[in-house]
A and B are shown apart, each in its own frame.
Chain A
Amino acid sequence: MTLGLYLDFDLESCGKIPLKAKLHIQPRELVALLGPSGSGKTTLLRSLAGLYTEVTGHIQSGNIDWLNSTQKIQIKPEQRSLGMVFQNYALFPHLTALQNVMLPLFKLSKRDANQKALDWLARVHLSGLELRKPHELSGGQRQRVALARALVAEPRLLLLDEPFSAVDQATRHKLRRELALLRHQIEAPTLLVTHDLEEALQLADRICVLHHGQILQVATPDELMSHPRSPTVARLLGMHNLFKGIVKDVSKTQITLDWCGKTLLITTQKTYKVGQTIEWMATPQSLILHRPDRPSNGDKENPIEGRIEELVMLGPHVSISVRPTHAPELPLRFFIPRHFVERQDLRMGMSIFVSLLGEQLHIFD
C-alpha cells in the first residue's frame, strides 16, 4: 500500500498564470514549496488538487492517473482522495468541529464516521471541543480541525497551503512541532506551501524553490542552504554577498580568483577555465570578522580590509556591513553576535579585517 502512494507530476500551464513544474514525491515524504508570493505555489497546489484546470501534462498518484493530457484523462477533485488544509482553514461555519471532520467520511456509516472523527480530533488534541462551531475556536484550534478533516479519510496526497500563516508566532511554533510529530503517521506524500524559509527548513525532507511558476531547485534543506544552484535561488533564500570574479589560475584543489583586483583562493574540485567569469557567494559560514587588535593572517583565509559601514542591533545579533577598501561598491553583509560588538567596541567607520574562508566559499554552476 505504502509503495503505491507516491506522487509524480509534470505540469505546464495553458492559462494566464505561468507554471512549469515536474517532481516525484515519495510516500511519507514532505516537500515544501517555497517561493515569494506570486511565484505560483498555490496555483501548483490547486492544479494538483484539480481545482485549477488550465494545466496540461500528467499527475499520477501511485498507479492512478489524475491528469493525463495525452489520454484526455482529468479526474475531478472530489474523486482524487485528497486532504487539503487551506490558508484560512475553510472550515464550514455552520458545522461543529466534529461535523467538519466527519464530512469527508459520508460514505461510511454514521457510527463509524463518528468514531473515526472523534479519534482524529483526539489525535490533534481537541477532545472536549467536538461540539464547538468554528467561530467558537481559536486560530490554532481551527487549524487542528482543518488538519484532522484533511487526514481523516486517509488521503492519497496531503496538501497544506500556508497552514501556519494565520496564527500568532507562539501558536505557529507549537503547531509546527505537532505537525513534525504527526507527519510520521501519514502514509501519503505531503506538499507544504510556504513563503517562510525557517518553516521549510524545519519541516521538509526536501525543499522545492519556485519562482515565476518554475521550479528552480529541489534539494534537502542542508544541500539547499550550502549549495543554492543559482544566484536567483540564493537571493530568494535571502542570502547576501553574491559577487562575480575572473578565474586567474587553476589547480587540482583550488582556483585563484580575481575579485575586482583582489586575489582570492577558493577550494573546489570542479574544473574552470582561466579567464572565465564566475559567480560566487560568501556563505555565512565563510565570513570571519577579525578582532581589531589582531588583524589578518595567511593568504588562504583571503583577508579583506574594509570599513564598517553599518551596525544594526537586531536582538542578540548585529547586522554588520563592511565596505572593502579595494571595492567599496560591493559591501559584505553578515551577522555577528552582539557581545562581540560590545566587547571589541566596534563602531561605524572603523577599519577592520574580514576573512573569507576558501573552503566555505560557494561557486555557482
Chain B
Amino acid sequence: MEFQALEISFKLAILTSLLLLPIGIALGRFIAWSHRPWVPVLQTLIFLPLVLPPTVLGYYFLVAFSGQAPFGSLWETLFNKSLNFSFEGLLIASIIANLPFSVQPIQHAFSSIDRDLRDAARTCGLNAWQAFFKIELPLIWPGLAGAFVLTFAHTLGEFGVVLMVGGNLSGETRTLSIAIYDQVQAFNLEAAGQMALVLLALAFVSLLLLQGLGQFRQRRKI
C-alpha cells in the first residue's frame, strides 16, 4: 500500500469537494431559478466534462496552465510556480472536471423549492441572505451532502485528467489510481490489488450514503 499516494488522493478529493460546495451552490441556484435565455448554454458548458474524454479535458488544462497561456502565466507571476505537474494545478483541474457532479444535485435541490416558498420567505420579511440561511440552506442540505459525496468519490477515482495535468510525481501528484496503474505496469499485481480494493470499498460506501440521502429527501417531502 502506498500511503503517500492514498494521502494525496484523500487531500485532493476533500479539497475538491469542499471548494466545489460554494461554487456548486452559486451555479446550481442560478441555473435552477434564472429564466435568462443563455442559461442552457451555461448548463451545457458545466456538463461538458461529463462526456468529454478525460484526455481531451486534460489536454486543454495543460494548454491553459502553461506559461504561454494567459491563465498559466498569471499564476506563475503571482505564485512563482508552474501550475502544470503541481498539486495546485491538479486541484484546479479536478474542480472544473467535477463541476457537473457538484452542480447537478444542488441544482435539483434548489429546483424542488417551490416558488411560493421563496415568496413566503420574502413576505415574512426576510431579505435574500436571511432567506438563504434560514430557509434555502436547511432545505437543500441533502443535495449539498449528495454533491459532496459524489465529487469526493469521483475525484478519488479520477485517472485521465490527473495523469495529463499532474503526471506521476511522487508526493506531489501521484494519486492512488495512478499508483495502481503504475504497479500493474510493473507486474506488481498484489500491491495494485490492495489499492484497488481500497478504492472499491470507498466507492461502495459513498454510493450507499447517496442512496440513504435520497431516501431521506423523499421522506421529508410534504
Is B125 in contact with A90, judged by CB distance below 8 angstroms? no
B127 touches which of A78, A81, A135 (Cβ 8 Å):
A78
Interface set, chain B 120-137, CB cutoff 8 A to A: 120-127, 130, 134-135
Residue of B114, B124, B127 near A103 (CB, 8 A) is B124
Q: Which residues of B contact A84 (CB under 8 A)?
A: 119-120, 123
- B135 touching A90, Cβ below 8 Å: no
Interface range, A side: 20 to 34
Within 8 A of B (CB), among A71-124: 76-79, 81-84, 86-88, 90-94, 103-104, 106-107
Residue contact B119 to A106, C-beta cutoff 8 Å: no
A residues contacting B by CB (< 8 A) are 46, 49-51, 76-79, 81-84, 86-88, 90-94, 103-104, 106-107, 134-135, 149-150, 153, 159
Which residues from chain B contact A51 at a C-beta distance below 8 Å?
Answer: 119, 122-123
Residue of B whose beta carbon sits closest to that of A134: B222
Bound-state CA distance A99–B116 (Å) is 18
Contact sample, A vs B, 13 pairs, CB 8 Å cutoff: A46-B119, A51-B119, A78-B126, A82-B123, A88-B116, A92-B117, A92-B121, A93-B222, A103-B124, A106-B125, A134-B222, A135-B222, A153-B124
Query: Which residues of A have CB within 8 Å of B114?
Result: 88, 90
With a CB–CB cut-off of 8 A, which chain A residues contact B130?
106
Q: Output the nearest chain A residue to B139 by Cβ-Cβ distance.
A: A94
Give B48-62 interface residues, CB cut-off 8 Å to A: none
Interface size band for B: 20 to 34
Residues of B within 8 A of A (CB): 114, 116-117, 119-127, 130, 134-135, 138-139, 220-222
Least Cβ–Cβ distance between B205 and chain A, in angstroms: 27
Taking A87-B116, A90-B117 as contacts, is the C-beta distance between A78 and B122 under 8 angstroms?
Answer: yes
Interchain CB contact under 8 A, B119 and A94:
no
B-chain residues with CB within 8 Å of residue A83 when the two chains form the complex: 123
- Cβ of B140 to closest chain A Cβ, rounded Å: 10
With the chains together, A105 CA to B119 CA distance in Å? 17
CA separation between A103 and B133, bound complex, in Å?
13
- Chain A positions within 8 Å of B122 at CB level: 50-51, 76-78
Distance from A309 Cβ to chain B, minimum over Cβ atoms (Å):
46
